[in-house]
């Protein structure tokens, strides 16, 4: 009923959508035989763009007039001279049509195009088009030259002992980095072109025979369904493909590390590469994936287990500690040991505001400091945020505005929120602690539990591409517990996680138990 009302009030305009998005429909003419005319038409389509070049020359021993059309900003001119112009000068006889010319030209990936629209699109994509007078078609020659930075270790995802390469902005280089690791014909890369105005290549990578087919086709469908003018980063794709757009929790994982993506692919997950961003999206994802780091599989199982438990604790601390402190000090002081309670009481005798207000103020201050540190130019950032934290913390305590224990709690919470490897999960948690502080201030520990239960129900109701978000804890898969909170040694993890529903579950041989050869 409410829904019907809502729809009446805000009708969805489904019919008008395509026209708004698609570029203006132009009449699609064939390429004229005259080079002059063809060049003029391209120039008019591209609006006389300054970097549009039309180079005319005589080829085939002066028998024929030719032209190459290309964008100066986007084309490898050296390569153009070497592998297009030079051979054309050497050819003596004119081939009978464009197709046979493409066959004799020493350049891979050429394609014959016939319409003006295809011609201008090819140029916009960075290809060079060869026109020969008299032929009513053009030859598209891929001579794109990207501005590309070298492969280097990502700053935001450093690990201690592990590979030092990271993704770059080109989808093809990124695919290469993955191919380098998975030398297997089953590795699949499907590329879609999305973004009606930006034409971004989006690649789906997975390993055939491991990744679940249904999930792969679900990913493909969701990507194909996207209709938007731009796709500038992985966040756009994440938001357009998520199962529940209003959830604060991320249902896809972002990484810059090829080894991370490789491991995910081999577990039956799917990577989404986007041209123009070094960040690769991994789907499907479960909540606990954000607590894992590639480090865990490099260091010893004991240490990895300890660190994972600490990360889980840090998650809980970030979420619950500010609220718990407010609840305990305003309503349930008796839960604390006597000495601690008396210290808190002693500290509070000097401060003018209720605990909840102090807590919220300080948490907001920390968020301001964090954002400021992020935006401040260069080396300023760190210094300023440290100074800010010290000055504000110290001064407000000395002035008696804030009790010192709040500063301790806030600092600890902030620190804890940065422990978790999944940055997007951590910010969700950071965000969600504020309502909990408010609820705790209103209803004590009952309010805290109430809010936490809301979050829990929301979390267990989430799915990421059909995979329950809280698996393997809820629903419970005991078999997969070996790599969730703890990390068992590799030789015991002979099966892939069941919740990703891999086609092939086995990933190890049976007799993997390491040790010296046994005498029999």
Partner 1 sequence: MVKRILVFSLLLFQLILTGGCWNRLEPEHYAWLSWLGLDKAEGGKVKIMTVVSPPLSPVPTGAAPPEDLMLTSSATGDTVFDAVRNINAHLPKRLFWPYLQAVVLSEDIARSGVEQHLDALFRNVRVRKNAWVFITRGPVDSVFKIDPQIERSPAALIDALVKAEQDFLGKSRVLRLKEFQRELASPGFDPVVSVLGVWDPKEEKVLPPGAKVPKKAELALDGSAVFQGDKLVGWLSPAESQAYLLGKGEMKTGLIAVPHPDNPQNLAGIEIIRSSSKLRAEIAGGRAVAKIEVKISANLGDQRFNAPGREAEDTDEDPDFYLKLGEQLERKVKSDLEKLAAKSQTTFDADIFGIGDYIANRYPNDWEQIQSNWRDYYKQAAIEIEVKANIAAANIMRSHPPRTDNQEQSGSAAGEE
Partner 2 sequence: MNGERISSRQLTWLLIIINISTSTALVPGIVIFYARQSAWLAILLAAAAAAAGVVLNLTLAGQFPGQTVAQYAQGLLGTWLGRLAGFFYSLTCLYLVAVCIRTITQVIKLSIMPETPLWPFVTGFVLLTVYSAWLGLEPLARAGDIMFPFALLVLTSLFLLALPEGKLYRALPVLQFNPAGIVKGAFPSFACLGESFVILLLAPALNKPAELKSASLKGSLLSGLILVVLTQTLLFVQGTYRTSAYLFPILRTAGELNVLDVFERFAPFVLTAWFTVNSVKIGVLAYCFALSASQTIGLKSCRPALLAALVAIPLLSLAPRSLAESLTVWVDLIAFKILIPTAFLFLPALLLLIAKVKKHHG
Rg (CA), the chain: 30
One character per residue 218-257, x = contact with partner 1 (rule: CB under 8 A): ----------------------------x-----------
- Please select the residue that binds partner 1; options are 143, 274, 314, 344, rule is CB under 8 A: 344
Determine, following the binding rule CB under 8 A, whether residue 103 of this chain makes contact with partner 1.
no
Q: Confirm if 355 and 472 have CB atoms less than 8 A apart.
A: no
Residues 6+ apart with CB under 8 A from 26: 45, 117
Distance CA 283, CA 265 (A): 10
Residues 365-404 that bind partner 1 (CB under 8 A): 397, 404
- Please select the residue that binds partner 1; options are 15, 16, 47, 334, rule is CB under 8 A: 334
Helix (H, G, I), strand (E, B) or coil at 393: helix
Determine, following the binding rule CB under 8 A, whether residue 100 of this chain makes contact with partner 2.
no
Determine, following the binding rule CB under 8 A, whether residue 345 of this chain makes contact with partner 1.
yes
Q: Name the residue nearer to partner 2 (CB basis): 86 or 342.
A: 342
Q: Name the residue nearer to partner 1 (CB basis): 112 or 443.
A: 443
Determine, following the binding rule CB under 8 A, whether residue 112 of this chain makes contact with partner 1.
no
**DSSP run (H or E) holding 468:** strand 467-468
Residues 425-444 that bind partner 1 (CB under 8 A): 438-439, 441-444
Determine, following the binding rule CB under 8 A, whether residue 333 of this chain makes contact with partner 1.
yes
Distance CA 319, CA 192 (A): 39
Among 106-114, 164-172, 359-367, 436-444, the segment contacting partner 2 (CB under 8 A): 436-444
Determine, following the binding rule CB under 8 A, whether residue 455 of this chain makes contact with partner 2.
no
With CB under 5 to 8 Å by kind, the binding choice for 341 among partner 2, partner 1, none is partner 1
- Please select the residue that binds partner 2; options are 450, 491, 494, 501, rule is CB under 8 A: 450
- Please select the residue that binds partner 2; options are 20, 86, 364, 456, rule is CB under 8 A: 456
Determine, following the binding rule CB under 8 A, whether residue 345 of this chain makes contact with partner 2.
no
Determine, following the binding rule CB under 8 A, whether residue 1 of this chain makes contact with partner 2.
yes
Both tokens of 223, joined, read: 């990507």
Helix (H, G, I), strand (E, B) or coil at 204: strand
The DSSP bridge pattern shows strands 64-71 and 128-132 to be antiparallel
Number of residues that bind partner 1 (CB under 8 A): 33
Alpha-carbon 452 to chain mean position = 28
Q: Looking up tokens 């980095």, which residue turns up? A: 177
Q: Looking up tokens 């309010």, which residue turns up? A: 447
Residues 52-91 that bind partner 2 (CB under 8 A): none
Residues 462-501 that bind partner 2 (CB under 8 A): 468, 470, 473-476
Determine, following the binding rule CB under 8 A, whether residue 330 of this chain makes contact with partner 1.
yes
Q: Confirm if 462 and 244 have CB atoms less than 8 A apart.
A: yes
Distance CA 432, CA 248 (A): 8
Half-sphere exposure (Cβ direction) of 218: Cα atoms closer than 13 Å = 16
Determine, following the binding rule CB under 8 A, whether residue 405 of this chain makes contact with partner 1.
yes
Distance CA 323, CA 325 (A): 5
Of 150, 108, 156, 129, give the one whose Cα is nearest residue 42: 129
Determine, following the binding rule CB under 8 A, whether residue 118 of this chain makes contact with partner 1.
no
Determine, following the binding rule CB under 8 A, whether residue 343 of this chain makes contact with partner 2.
no
Q: Looking up tokens 């529903």, which residue turns up? A: 501
Determine, following the binding rule CB under 8 A, whether residue 301 of this chain makes contact with partner 2.
no
Please write down the HEC assignment for all residues of 206-250: EECCCCCHHHHHHHHHHHHHCCCCCCCCHHHHHHHHCCCCCCCCC
Determine, following the binding rule CB under 8 A, whether residue 354 of this chain makes contact with partner 2.
no
- Please select the residue that binds partner 2; options are 4, 5, 150, 334, rule is CB under 8 A: 334
Q: Residues interacting with partner 2, by CB under 8 A? A: 1, 331-332, 334-335, 337, 442-450, 452-454, 456-458, 460-461, 468, 470, 473-476
């Amino acid at each position: 009923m409410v829904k019907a009302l809502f729809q009446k009030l805000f009708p969805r305009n489904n019919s008008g959508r395509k026209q708004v998005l698609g570029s203006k429909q132009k009449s699609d003419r064939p390429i004229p035989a005259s080079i002059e005319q063809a060049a003029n038409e391209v120039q008019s389509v591209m609006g006389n763009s300054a970097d549009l070049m039309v180079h005319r020359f005589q080829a085939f021993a002066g028998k024929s007039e030719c032209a190459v059309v290309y964008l100066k900003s986007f084309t490898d001119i050296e390569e153009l001279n070497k592998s297009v112009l030079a051979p054309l000068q050497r050819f003596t006889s004119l081939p009978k049509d464009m197709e046979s010319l493409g066959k004799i030209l020493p350049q891979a990936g050429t394609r014959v195009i016939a319409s003006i629209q295809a011609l201008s699109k090819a140029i916009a994509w960075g290809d060079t088009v060869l026109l020969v007078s008299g032929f009513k078609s053009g030859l598209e020659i891929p001579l794109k030259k990207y501005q590309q930075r070298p492969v280097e270790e990502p700053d935001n995802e450093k690990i201690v002992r592990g590979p030092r390469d990271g993704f770059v902005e080109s989808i093809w280089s990124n695919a290469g980095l993955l191919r380098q690791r998975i030398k297997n014909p089953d590795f699949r890369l499907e590329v879609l072109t999305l973004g009606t105005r930006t034409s971004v290549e989006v690649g789906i990578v997975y390993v055939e025979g491991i990744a679940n087919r249904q999930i792969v086709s679900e990913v493909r469908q969701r990507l194909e369904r996207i209709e938007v003018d731009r796709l500038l980063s992985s966040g756009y794709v994440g938001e357009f493909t998520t199962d529940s757009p209003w959830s604060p929790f991320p249902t896809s994982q972002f990484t810059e590390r090829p080894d991370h993506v490789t491991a995910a692919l081999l577990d039956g997950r799917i990577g989404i590469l986007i041209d123009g961003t070094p960040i690769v999206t991994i789907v499907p994802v479960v909540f606990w994936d954000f607590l894992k780091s590639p480090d865990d599989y490099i260091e010893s199982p004991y240490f990895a287990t300890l660190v994972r438990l600490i990360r889980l604790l840090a998650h809980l601390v970030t979420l619950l500690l500010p609220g718990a402190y407010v609840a305990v000090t305003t309503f349930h002081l008796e839960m604390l040991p006597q000495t601690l309670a008396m210290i808190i009481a002693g500290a509070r005798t000097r401060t003018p505001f209720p605990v909840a207000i102090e807590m919220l103020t300080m948490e907001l201050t920390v968020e301001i400091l964090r954002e400021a540190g992020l935006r401040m130019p260069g080396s300023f950032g760190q210094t300023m945020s440290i100074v800010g934290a010290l000055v504000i913390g110290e001064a407000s305590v000395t002035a008696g505005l804030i009790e010192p224990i709040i500063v301790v709690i806030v600092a600890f919470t902030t620190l804890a929120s940065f422990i978790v490897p999944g940055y997007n999960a951590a910010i969700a948690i950071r965000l969600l602690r504020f309502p909990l502080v408010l609820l705790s201030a209103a209803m004590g520990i009952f309010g805290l539990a109430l809010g936490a239960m809301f979050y829990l129900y929301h979390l267990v109701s989430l799915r990421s591409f059909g995979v329950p978000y809280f698996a393997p804890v809820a629903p419970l898969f005991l078999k997969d517990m070996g790599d969730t909170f703890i990390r068992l040694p590799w030789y015991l993890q002979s099966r892939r996680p069941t919740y990703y529903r891999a086609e092939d579950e086995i990933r190890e041989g049976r007799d993997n138990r390491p040790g010296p050869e046994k005498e029999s």
